[in-house]
Structure 1
């Protein structure tokens, strides 16, 4: 597979996002919430680059039913602590249609955070629900199937240090 986004390009963009986030959340009680499984590498690298104190937690959700049309989700990993009255940054690997992110945002909002923002390494902006806003997009991308840097295909390729387009997934 040929890298679409090299390790160096990703690292540089993560550093830029971390500077923006550090500036925007300066003097705020920040909780970074990584979305598992795909977001773990991006979350780790982003957290190491954020220059202000912050807490880190993780959430996970999955769709059930046939996974394609049901649109029903359930939380499979809850937050360990409340985010009530805190500044929250949800960190996603990729926003495709935005359905999972929309569900997670709704769940986190139930705890009444002071503010809630979203960072995503990749955003398929043309495909995603237009009501979903990614405040800190790493890269706006086409509707390609991407793997690497936490993104997987059937549980494989998460370990690649770059991101590539996977061909022939039909």
Structure 2
């Protein structure tokens, strides 16, 4: 069973659900103050469970779209960001709420945020389930963060190792012998 590969649980399913309620309230209040409604864009594949949990809490009419970008191979960043699938909704003159599973080195988010600005987005905010500041190589911070995690190899709730473990209903630390 995949759970046998987990060293420890960092964030439970219940904690994630509760934090999504809090994040949705905060995000909604901020956009209400601005008088705007964002296009909610999930970065595939890791953001899907988090995005699904988050958007069902929004009370505003929610337009969603997805992008697939990649900068990882296994456990290591490969150094460049590829756009594998672009969103279908136009970003021009629209605020974007970018949904990410984890802010790690920051490389992907810096590039995606730049791309949205080039496409004419009025604003780009980032909501991330996890933040791993110890690994940051690029100057970027999420506007909204679910949980800050230590520099350990985390999986679950959308986060993977070689496309596995995304289905775990919690955030756990993968046993080192699995990926070393």
Tell whether the 8 Å contact from 2:68 to 2:85 is kept in structure 1 after alignment: yes
Alignment CA distance shift 1:70-1:38 (3 Å): closer
Q: CA RMSD in A?
A: 2.0
Match of 1:90 in 2: 98
> How many residues matched?
170
The structure whose residues are more often helix, as a share, is 2
Match of 2:172 in 1: 164
Q: Offset at 1:32?
A: 0.4
5+ residue gaps, structure 2, are: 1-5
Deviation beyond 4 Å, 4+ runs, structure 1 = 67-70
Q: Offset at 1:53?
A: 1.5
| Deviation per residue, 1:8-65 (Å, 9 max, x gap) | 0010011110001111112313100000111111111111111212210001112389
Match of 2:22 in 1: 16
SS at the partner of 1:126?
Answer: helix
Mapped pair 1:140 → 2:121: no
Tell whether the 8 Å contact from 2:157 to 2:168 is kept in structure 1 after alignment: yes
Tell whether the 8 Å contact from 1:35 to 1:59 is kept in structure 2 after alignment: yes
Alignment CA distance shift 1:119-1:146 (3 Å): same
5+ residue gaps, structure 1, are: none
